[in-house]
Structure 1
Amino acid sequence: MDGIKSVVLASLMAAWSFAATAETFTHIELDKDRTSVQYAGPIKSITKALEGYRWLGQTKDMNGGVVFTPYINPHFGKNDTESGGAIMVTATFYLYDQPAKEALMVARQSEIPGFIEFYGYDSRELQLHIRMVGDGTFQAFSSADQYRKPEKLMTYKKVDEFNKSPYKSQLKSALEDGTFF
């Protein structure tokens, strides 16, 4: 009987320690028309930490990253314009070492506490909800709704250069594959 109690107690302790280390995220309601200016302090500290570096995010399906560069908003502080209250960055997304997409992004407070949201100026569907977790690492969700699924949390690390594509050497030119004669 003591053996069963020991096994049950050990199982409960293991489950409790696992539950204690699993991070849970919450959601807060914020004004959908909030601006960067209202939360400028935390936004500027994160954008300064991100800008100018290569950030590599790796999953089993993807090997690429992003580079954030500062964007000087000529309308900043002009309340009569759409982008007047916006802190902005340019994000260049990479697939391996090749640029895949460039987007002008607006920074604002995320509805996930502790995160900053970057959304596409031309397309609000393009989102990254970012928090710094050290000098060389940030974590991100690709939408505000993903806070319910901690397994969707992506980790990006600062690198000197992105990985080279292993598929590049397998591609043949049009002359080599017989497309042109």
Structure 2
Amino acid sequence: MGWIINFVFASLIAAFSFTASAETFERIELDKDRTSVQYAGPIKSITKALEGYRWLGQTEDMNGGVVFEPYVNTRFGKNDTETGGAIMVKATYYLYDEPVKEALMIARQSEIPGFVEFYGYDSRELQLHIRMVDDNTFQAFASDDEYRKPEKLMTYKKVEQFNKSNYKSQLKTPEEDGTWF
């Protein structure tokens, strides 16, 4: 009889943990011209938590990550400019431990509640909708349309350094492979 109770209890715990992990997200309509200033509190708390750390995406064997750095917006507070109401960060994207893209990003309230949107100053297609899970983890969607697909939610962990490429050591210099130009 005791094993039946243990089995039922274990089944309930498993079912509860499955339903808890199947999180659903919604979207709200916000003004397309909203600025960072309107939602400065949540934006600044997330940017401060992100800045200066290496964030490795999804799993430990993923080969890339991102580093956010503070960016001083010299036009901040000047309403006559496009970036006058913008809190900005510089994002450097990595493949293994090599930087591959640097982007100036504007932060504003995301249309996914609980998230902050970072979009590229030069290219609005470059987006990350981020929420902090704890001091060492954030989750992100790559666009505001992905909220319908919880499997698209990416998890980033704070790391000391990014993974090193296994292929770098296999590359030979021109002298080593006998090629001279």
TM-score scaled by length of structure 1: 0.87
Letter in 1 for 2:168: K
Root-mean-square deviation (CA), in Å? 2.1
Contact 1:62 1:95 (C-alpha < 8 Å) held by counterparts: no
80-89 or 50-59, which moves further after superposition?
50-59
Displacement of 1:177: 3.1
Q: Separation in 1 of the partners of 2:60 and 2:157?
A: 16
Identity %: 80
User: For 2:48 and 2:155, how far apart are their aligned partners in 1?
Assistant: 18
Residue 163 of structure 1, CA deviation: 1.2
1:154 corresponds to = 154
In the other structure, the counterpart of 1:65 is: 65
The equivalent of 2:94 in structure 1 is 94
> What pairs up with 1:129-148 in 2 under 5 angstroms?
129-148=129-148
Shift of the 60–157 alpha-carbon distance from structure 1 to 2, 3 Å rule, reads closer
Segment drifting more, 17-26 vs 163-172: 17-26
Hey, what's the Cα distance between the residues in 2 that align with 1:13 and 1:93?
42
Q: Counterpart of 2:51 in structure 1: which amino acid?
A: E
Q: Where do 5+ consecutive residues of structure 1 fail to align? A: 1-8
Structure-1 separation of matches of 2:76 and 2:139: 28
Match of residue 33 from structure 1: 33
Amino acid at match of 1:135: D
- State the match for 1:119 in structure 2: 119
C-alpha contact 1:55 1:157 (8 A) present in aligned 2: yes
Q: Which moved more, 1:17-26 or 1:84-93?
A: 17-26
Contact map agreement 1:79 1:85 (CA 8 A) in 2: yes
Q: Following TM superposition, by how much is the alpha carbon of 1:91 offset from its aligned partner in structure 2, in angstroms?
A: 0.3
Q: Counterpart in 1 of 2:4?
A: none
Structure 1 159/122 Cα, relative in aligned 2: closer, same or farther at 3 Å?
A: same
1:43 equivalent in structure 2: 43
- Segments of 5+ residues of structure 2 without an aligned counterpart are 1-7
What TM-score does the superposition give when structure 2 sets the normalisation length?
A: 0.87
Change (3 A) 1:134 1:14: closer
In structure 2, what is the equivalent of residue 5 of structure 1?
Answer: none
1:180 to partner: Cα distance: 2.0
